Amino acid sequence: MADELTVAIYEHTRQFPKEEIYGLTSQLRRCAYSVPANIAEGSARQSKRDYLHFLYMARGSLCEAQYFIHLAGRLHYFAHDQNLKLTDQIGVVFGCLHRLILAVESELPKS
């Protein structure tokens, strides 16, 4: 899901104004690919606590992406239907990530 969102963001940001290449385009793409990258990196870690740390970072990047999609919509860089579709995809990824975080948290020893 996070990978599909990243691909969609890359596709949709191709239409952004050229002056945004080092601004909003770059920022939105960076936080988008950070989500699946952090999930992947965290899953390779030795401890559940490390994994959880990377999942939290993925969640933070997803929040950034959500804001940048909102901003791009306000700047009319996305058509309304594109903005809605990406917003829906963000929601799906949030749900999956939230459930994954809860599952990993439940595996940690109670302190």
Tens-digit pLDDT profile for residues 31-65: 999 999 999 999 999 999 999 999 999 999 999 99
Considering Cα of 86, then 16, then 56, then 107, what sign does the dihedral take? positive
Task: Enumerate the domain spans of the chain.
Answer: 2-106
Task: Collect all residues with Cβ–Cβ distance below 8 Å to 68 and sequence separation of at least 6.
Answer: 24, 27, 28, 31
Neighbours of 61 (CB within 10 A): 21
- Indicate whether 97 pLDDT > 80: yes
- Indicate whether 111 pLDDT > 90: no
- Indicate whether 96 pLDDT > 80: yes
Task: Give mean pLDDT, residues 96-109.
Answer: 95
Q: Report the Cα 92 to chain-centroid distance in Å.
A: 11
* Class for the domain spanning 2-106: mainly alpha
- Indicate whether 79 pLDDT > 80: yes
